[in-house]
Structure 1
Amino acid sequence: MAAKKALRRTLLAARAQLGPDELEATAERLSTHVLALPQLSPGACVAAYVSSGSEPGTHVLLERLREAGVRVLLPVLLADDDLDWAEYAGADALVDGLRRTRHPSTQALGKDAVAEADVVLVPGVAVSTTGHRLGRGGGSYDRALARVEGAFVAVLLHPGEVGQRVPVEAHDQVVDAAITRDGVLPLG
């Protein structure tokens, strides 16, 4: 869809202008907001992802979740753009995956493992006020979110990426909230 491609291109160009200090501060604040979520009770499971480039950073968050005793599942990108899942065992246990992704070297748990999560944190490029998320265009997370029931689903974004007019297609899944360095914004 041309409108999605144009919006994605504009927002990714804006992200490219963010400096390392701003990205580091964003990663710190995101972790604080996520760890304060009421859905993160003792023994919770969180499905997250390994950020890259100018995405809102998840490296600090992943370590803090693990230190807090939260079970963390990370995606393993498959050749058909679907997602398998594996348990996070620390930054030293991440390996290179398809299309410049990083994933755990631990045993893959299957595509349906994401359904075990109490909280699902997804990447994105933008989100509308109704919770329609714009991703990178592969449909990986729309497929994964179709397997999730009852979990709190949030997209991690930079503040200017929230409240965008996101074109919607039939397969697009909605999210419950956006989390930025400024806090948690309920959607829908």
Structure 2
Amino acid sequence: MDADARSEKERLRARLLDARAALSEERRDRAGSALRDAAAEVPELATAGTVAVYYSVDAEPDTRKLVTMLWKRGVYVLLPVFRSDRSLDWAAYEGPDSVAPARFGLLEPTGPRYGREAVARASVVLAPALAVDHAGYRLGRGAGCYDRALSLVGPNALKLGVIYDTEFLESVPAEDHDRPVDGVLTPEGGLRRL
């Protein structure tokens, strides 16, 4: 990817992060409730044995209510652990007391680590994104950890980017290593398959 495309990614990231920072806590809370309710209507989540999902921080779309809902339904929930090599390890969510502050302001599970390949057991993966386009390409924070994780997911798993409705864009810059998702989950629009 050339320098112009990298610059475009950085400008887009900055714009999207600024827009998220401007959201009120009340709006983020409502979005979290709406995401939980939308997730409850996704057939694959209703029947999932294992779901890999991130535990939101800061102005990310709030997945904490969604994680709790899945866990209370008896779904085996895997949360990521950010490794020093920028890959993701995975551990089980076992309730609100099973996460603790970690590097980079993240909240991560405190239980045993199951390795990078654990994500391959998930029938649904809910991935963070700053934006997703109509072809399924997601713009992340730039570390590439979710692209590497998505490359390990089975072909029958449902892969969704979790974003605010305004972050579903016509296109985002993509590189050869970028892995598309199958759809998006948004607070107002719910599930949109691509």
Q: Same fold (TM over 0.5)?
A: yes
Equivalent in the alignment of 1:129: 134
Equivalent-residue separation in structure 1 for 2:39 and 2:121 (angstroms): 18
Contact 2:44 2:158 in 1 (8 A): yes
Look up the match of 1:166. 172
TM-score between the two structures when normalised by the length of structure 1: 0.96
Partner residue in 1 for 2:97: 92
Is the alpha carbon distance of 1:43 and 1:56 closer, same or farther for their aligned partners in structure 2, counting shifts above 3 Å? closer
- How big is each residue's C-alpha offset from its partner over 1:7-55, in whole Å with a ceiling of 9 and x where there is no partner? 0100111111110111011000101111221112446210001101111
Q: C-alpha separation between the residues in 2 aligned to 1:76 and 1:88? A: 11
| 1:15 maps to amino acid | R
The question of whether the paired residues in 2 share the 8 Å contact of 1:74 and 1:88 is answered with yes
Q: Distance in 1 between matches of 2:48 and 2:34?
A: 23
> Which of 33, 39, 64 is residue 34 of structure 1 equivalent to?
39
- SS, match of residue 45 in structure 2: coil
Report SS of the residue matched to 1:39.
helix
- CA deviation digits over 1:79-108, x for unaligned, max 9? 011000000011111122222211111100
Q: 1:64 to 1:170 in 2, by over 3 A?
A: same
Q: Which of 171, 183, 189 is equivalent to 1:177? A: 183
SS in 2 for 1:12: helix
Unmatched 5+ residue regions in structure 2?
A: 1-5
Structure 2 counterpart of 1:44, which letter? G
2:25 matched residue in structure 1: 20
What whole-Å deviation, never above 9, does each CA across 1:38-75 have from its counterpart, x for those lacking one?
11244621000110111100111111111111110000
Contact 1:78/1:98 (8 A) holds in 2: no
Closer/same/farther in 2, CA of residues 43 and 181 from structure 1, 3 Å limit:
closer
Cα distance in 1 between the residues matched to 2:124 and 2:29: 23
SS in 2 for 1:53: coil
**In 2, distance between residues paired with 1:159 and 1:185?**
11
Q: Secondary structure at the match of 1:3?
A: helix
Range that drifts further, 26-35 or 95-104 = 95-104
Match of 2:107 among 98, 102, 115: 102
Residue matched to 1:53: 58
SS in 2 for 1:174: coil
Paired with 1:42 and 1:57, the residues of 2 have a C-alpha distance of: 22
